[in-house]
Amino acid sequence: MKVWLFHLAVLVVVGVLALTLPPYHANNLARVLVLAVFATGYNLAFGYTGMLSLGHALFFAAGMYAAALPATLWGVGALPALILGLLAGGLAALGVGLLALRTAGVSFMIVTLMFAQAGYLTVIYFNQTTGGDQGLVLQGGARRLIGLDMAQDGPRLWVAFALYAAGLAGALAIVRSRFGRVMLAMRENEERSRMLGYDPFRVKLAVLAVSGLYAGVAGAAYAVLFGYAGASFAGVQYSILPMLYSLMGGAGTVLGPLVGAAAMFWLIDIASGLTTAWLMLVGIVLVGLVLFAPKGLLGWIRERWMPWLP
């Protein structure tokens, strides 16, 4: 109960921010919330189950194009596009998982990375359809979600907020369930877990598929909310970003990805306002984090004050 109330309180704080922030930052907040959905799903696989994937850009892009292509080609509406994106992300993760989960550790990283790169090159190769680097612009009906116009700042932010709230509730429910305990067991000691009657392959495949659903719906939402789908979202940086968000906020904490996404976004925003060498500033902060809070911001807080934080 305490846990749910705490996370509800966090959502209220985010909601108040959404109401009070100036338009520029409110718009950024919408972007951060969508990316946080992506990272929350990533963290289920990475932080909780111990699968270090470098292929999540593929699932994100699968969701993005599964929404954007039907929307631009056949005029499919925003809501069905979101659902298509959700399913595409989950299916892509399931397919990759079936093959990649024969490996573990570094090999798993490499295999998932290769799949994602293949996906990226596929998007480029079919640039007649996908728009390649130029991308696709979504407009009109493709951005009208349940009667709300996603081209307007307010509705867009609240849809992003609702999506994140749903993702957060889902993640909380999963990690606090019996299955969530098995996820941790896989991360901590796979061989022991096998000898308690759990099939590591099936557990990890299930988690990867759920993680893909998150990535897929986030990719689709990105296209619908911000009206653009492009090949850059299939690139390797979109596999690394959710990992960075998770590590910064706290891998294996439910709120960590949101904290990490927000911290990273505004860190880059502020740093690039100060100097053209903003990447150096970001780097210094990351090195400091690794040195002083290797478990991320929320991992650090959990260790000291909130041991009950899921």
Partner 1 sequence: MAAVILQAQGLSRAFGGLRAVDGVDFALQAGEIHALIGPNGAGKTTFVSLLSGRIAPDAGKVMLSGEDITRLPAHQRVRRGIAYTFQITSVYPRLPVFDNVALAAQSRGVRDLPAAVDAALDRVGMAGMGGRMAGELSYGHQRLLELAMGLALKPRVLILDEPTQGLAAGEIEGFIALVRGLVPETTVLMIEHNMEVVMSLAHRITVLNFGQVLASGTPDEVRANPQVQAAYLGTDHAAA
State the residues that interact with partner 1 by CB under 8 A. Answer: 178, 181-182, 184-185, 188-189, 191-200
Q: Provide the total of helices (H) and of strands (E) in the chain, helices listed first.
A: 14, 4
Residue closer to partner 1, measured from CB, 56 or 302: 302
Task: List all residues 6 or more positions away from 287 whose beta carbon is below 8 Å from its beta carbon.
Answer: none
Instruction: Supply the minimum distance, in Å, between the C-beta of residue 46 and partner 1.
Output: 16
Strand partners for 148: 145
Judged by CB, which is closer to partner 1: 31, or 194? 194
Nearest approach in angstroms of CB 255 to partner 1 is 20
Sign of the CA dihedral 212, 46, 117, 282? positive
**Nearest-angstrom CA–CA distance, 11 and 289:** 25
Q: Which is nearer to partner 1, 87 or 101 (CB)?
A: 101
Rounded least distance, CB 182 to partner 1, Å: 7
CB of 40 to partner 1, least distance (A): 22
Between 31 and 295, name the residue whose CB sits nearer to partner 1: 295
Token output for 246: 């998770």
- Shortest Cβ 179–partner 1 spacing (Å): 9
Q: Which is nearer to partner 1, 172 or 183 (CB)?
A: 183
Residue 204: enclosing H or E segment and its boundaries?
helix 200-226
Burial of 50 (0-12, 13-18, 19+ CB in 10 A): buried
